[in-house]
C-alpha cells in the first residue's frame, strides 16, 4: 500500500476533526464499540495506555497518603435520595437493577454513577474519633451513567475511573485536600500526558451535584474546544450530616467531618489523543506510550539484521524502555506509516549498512528529520531522547493553548474568540443568567475561574456590563 493511500484511511484532521478522532481511535485499535449502545471495549493498545495512567496516578495518590479500597457497585436507590441535589443530578442517568437471582428485588438498586453515598454509608460505621481522621481512600472502578450521545473515551455509558473520597476534621483541611489533589492532577497532566491544563474553580452551575465547590483542570483540544479532564470537589458537611457521620473531637464534643472527592477517568485517553494528534494519526506522550521505540528492520531477510534488531530491543528493554521489533513481512514504508498512525514516539531503523557502520537511524514521531546515532548512543541516550520528546510535546501544546486564549471585553469579542477556536477569558458578574445567555448564544460554557483573580472586580461583566466579580474562561467543550 502506498503512503498516501494509507493516510487516506483517516479523515483530514483540518477538515473533519470529529471524524478524524473516530477514525483514529478505531483504526489504531485503541477501542471498539460494545454491543450495548453507548458502551466501549478498550482494546489492548488502549488499555496499555490506561495501565500507564493508573500506575502513574496511583503512585502519586499513595505518595500523598491515600490508600485504595473497593466498595460495592450496587447501591440501594434510597441512598441517592439522601442529598437533594445529588439525586436530582444523577437519578436521570442511572442504570437500575430490578431483578436478581431470578426474583424481583424488594428495593431497586442502582449501578454506581459515582460513590459518594456508599462511601458515606460505610464511613458512618468506621469513623468514631478524631483518631480515625483524616480518612483518605481511593478506588479504581467502573461506573455507569446512561448518556444519550456517546463517543469512545469521551462519553460512554460505562467508563473506568478512580474516585478519591476523603474525610477531615476541619473545613480548612478538606479544602486544602481539594486543592492539593487538583495540583496532583495538573502535575500528572504536564509530566505524564505532556498536556497543559488550566486549573480553577467551577461556577455554581457547573459544580458537582451536591457539592459546595468544584475545581477542574481544563485541557484545550486541537479544535479549540475544552475538555474537562479532572475534577476535585469540596462537600463541606453536605453528605456527612444526612449520613450521620460523626466523630468525637479532642475537645470532647461530637462533630460532623468535612468531605472531598476527586476523580479522573478513561476520558484522559480521549484528551491526550485530541491534544497531540496530527494528520498522520496518534502522537503518544512517551510516559504512557505502550511502545516507546519501534525498531524497523531494513532488508530484514539479510543475514544478521533481525538478530541485531532483537539485540537492540533487549538492550533497550533492560534499560527500562518499552521497545519492540516489527518483524512482520510488510514493507518498511508500510511499517513506518503503521507505527506513525499508532503514535509511537520514536522509530529506530536498522539495516545492513547501519550495522556495518555501527549506527541506527532515528526519527521522532513529532519531527520530520532523521538523524544517525551510534548503536551505543541509541541505547544509552534513549531515556533522554524520550524525555526530550515529552518536553517538546508539552511545549508545543502549551504554545498552541496560549495562542488560543483571548482576553475579551464584549460579547462580540467572545463570539469571535470561540468561533476562532479559542477560549475567551472574560470578566463575569457571577450571575447564572449571563452564563446561560452566553451558552445559548454561542454554545460556550464557563470552564473555570483561574486562581489569580486580581483585577476581577475592576472589570465589567462581558455579558450584562455590570460590575464584575470574577475572571472566568468561556469555551466550547466536550
Q: Which residues bind a second copy (CB under 8 A)?
A: 32, 34-36, 39-44, 47-48, 50-51, 67-76, 79, 91-102, 109, 111, 118, 121-122, 125-126, 137, 141-142, 144, 146-148, 157-158, 160
Compare residues 71 and 400 and give the one whose CB is closer to a second copy.
71
Residue 133: Cβ within 10 Å count: 20
Say which DSSP state 132 is in.
G
Compare residues 137 and 194 and give the one whose CB is closer to a second copy.
137
Minimum distance of a second copy from residue 94's CB (angstroms): 7
Measured CA distances, 354 to 91, 222, 232, 373 (Å): 63, 38, 52, 10
Measured CA distances, 345 to 293, 340, 443 (Å): 7, 8, 35
Distance CA 475, CA 167 (A): 33
Minimum distance of a second copy from residue 122's CB (angstroms): 6
Minimum distance of a second copy from residue 50's CB (angstroms): 8
Compare residues 266 and 361 and give the one whose CB is closer to a second copy.
266
Minimum distance of a second copy from residue 113's CB (angstroms): 11
Non-local (6+) Cβ contacts of 58 within 8 A are 68, 140, 162
Compare residues 48 and 179 and give the one whose CB is closer to a second copy.
48
Distance CA 187, CA 259 (A): 23
Q: Going by DSSP bridges, is the β-strand pair 423-428/359-364 parallel, antiparallel, or unpaired? A: unpaired
Non-local (6+) Cβ contacts of 311 within 8 A are none
Minimum distance of a second copy from residue 468's CB (angstroms): 38
Strand extents, DSSP E, 330-476: 346-350, 359-364, 370-374, 405-407, 423-428, 445-446, 449-450, 470-475
Minimum distance of a second copy from residue 416's CB (angstroms): 37
Minimum distance of a second copy from residue 451's CB (angstroms): 32
Compare residues 24 and 144 and give the one whose CB is closer to a second copy.
144
- For residue 328 the three cell numbers come to 512482520
Cis peptide upstream of residue 134 (ω within 30 degrees of 0)? yes
- Cell numbers 461530637 correspond to 254
Compare residues 121 and 163 and give the one whose CB is closer to a second copy.
121
**Phi then psi dihedrals of residue 65, to 5 deg:** 90, 10
Angle between helices 382-402 and 267-276 (to 10 degrees): 80
Compare residues 94 and 350 and give the one whose CB is closer to a second copy.
94
Exposure string of 236-246, with b = 16+ CB inside 10 Å and e = fewer, is bbbbbebbebb
Minimum distance of a second copy from residue 21's CB (angstroms): 20
Compare residues 141 and 192 and give the one whose CB is closer to a second copy.
141
Segment (H or E) for 42:
strand 40-42
Compare residues 121 and 177 and give the one whose CB is closer to a second copy.
121
Minimum distance of a second copy from residue 328's CB (angstroms): 9
Minimum distance of a second copy from residue 396's CB (angstroms): 30
Q: Is 121 helix (H, G, I), strand (E, B) or coil?
A: helix
Q: Going by DSSP bridges, is the β-strand pair 449-450/198-201 parallel, antiparallel, or unpaired? A: antiparallel
Compare residues 148 and 250 and give the one whose CB is closer to a second copy.
148
Amino acid at each position: 500500500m502506498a503512503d498516501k493511500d494509507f493516510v487516506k484511511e483517516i479523515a483530514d484532521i483540518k477538515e473533519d476533526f470529529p471524524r478524524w478522532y473516530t477514525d483514529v481511535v478505531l483504526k489504531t485499535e485503541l477501542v471498539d464499540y460494545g454491543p450495548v449502545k453507548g458502551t466501549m471495549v478498550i482494546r489492548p493498545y488502549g488499555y496499555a495506555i490506561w495501565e500507564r495512567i493508573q500506575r502513574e496516578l496511583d503512585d502519586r495518590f499513595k505518595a500523598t497518603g491515600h490508600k485504595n479500597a473497593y466498595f460495592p457497585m450496587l447501591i440501594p436507590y434510597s441512598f441517592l435520595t439522601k442529598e437533594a441535589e445529588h439525586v436530582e443530578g444523577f437519578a436521570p442517568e442511572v442504570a437500575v437493577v430490578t431483578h436478581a437471582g431470578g426474583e424481583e428485588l424488594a428495593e431497586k438498586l442502582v449501578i454506581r454513577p459515582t460513590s459518594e453515598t456508599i462511601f458515606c454509608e460505610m464511613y458512618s460505621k468506621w469513623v468514631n474519633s478524631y483518631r480515625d481522621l483524616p480518612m483518605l481512600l481511593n478506588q479504581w472502578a467502573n461506573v455507569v451513567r446512561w448518556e444519550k450521545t456517546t463517543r469512545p473515551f469521551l462519553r460512554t455509558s460505562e467508563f473506568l475511573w478512580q474516585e478519591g473520597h476523603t474525610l477531615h476534621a476541619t473545613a480548612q483541611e478538606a479544602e486544602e485536600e481539594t486543592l492539593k489533589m487538583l495540583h496532583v492532577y495538573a502535575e500528572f497532566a504536564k509530566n505524564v500526558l505532556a498536556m497543559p491544563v488550566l486549573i480553577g474553580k467551577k461556577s455554581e452551575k457547573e459544580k458537582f451535584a451536591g457539592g459546595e465547590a468544584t475545581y477542574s483542570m481544563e485541557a484545550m483540544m486541537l479544535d479549540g474546544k475544552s475538555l474537562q479532564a479532572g475534577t476535585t470537589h469540596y462537600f463541606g458537611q453536605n453528605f456527612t450530616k444526612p449520613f450521620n457521620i460523626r466523630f468525637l473531637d479532642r475537645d470532647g464534643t461530637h462533630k460532623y467531618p468535612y468531605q472531598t472527592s476527586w476523580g479522573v477517568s478513561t476520558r484522559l485517553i480521549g484528551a491526550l489523543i485530541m491534544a497531540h494528534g496530527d494528520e498522520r494519526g496518534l502522537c503518544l506522550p512517551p510516559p504512557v506510550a505502550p511502545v516507546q521505540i519501534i525498531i524497523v528492520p531494513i532488508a530484514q531477510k539479510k543475514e544478521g539484521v533481525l538478530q541485531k534488531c532483537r539485540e537492540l530491543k533487549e538492550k533497550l528493554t533492560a534499560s527500562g524502555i518499552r521497545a519492540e521489533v516489527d518483524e512482520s513481512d510488510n514493507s518498511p514504508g508500510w511499517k513506518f506509516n503503521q507505527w506513525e498512525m499508532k503514535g509511537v514516539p520514536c522509530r529506530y531503523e536498522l539495516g545492513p549498512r547501519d550495522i556495518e557502520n555501527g549506527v541506527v537511524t532515528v526519527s521522532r514521531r513529532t519531527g520530520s528529520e532523521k538523524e544517525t546515532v551510534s548503536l551505543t548512543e541509541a541505547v544509552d541516550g534513549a531515556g533522554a531522547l524520550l524525555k526530550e520528546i515529552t518536553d517538546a510535546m508539552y511545549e508545543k501544546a502549551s504554545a498552541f493553548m496560549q495562542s488560543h486564549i483571548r482576553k475579551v471585553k464584549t460579547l462580540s469579542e467572545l463570539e469571535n474568540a470561540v468561533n476562532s477556536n479559542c477560549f475567551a477569558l472574560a470578566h463575569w458578574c457571577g450571575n447564572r443568567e449571563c452564563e446561560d445567555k452566553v451558552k445559548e448564544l454561542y454554545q460556550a460554557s464557563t470552564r473555570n475561574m483561574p486562581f489569580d483573580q486580581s483585577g476581577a472586580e475592576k472589570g465589567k461583566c462581558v455579558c450584562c456590563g455590570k460590575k464584575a466579580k470574577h475572571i472566568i474562561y468561556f469555551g466550547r467543550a466536550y
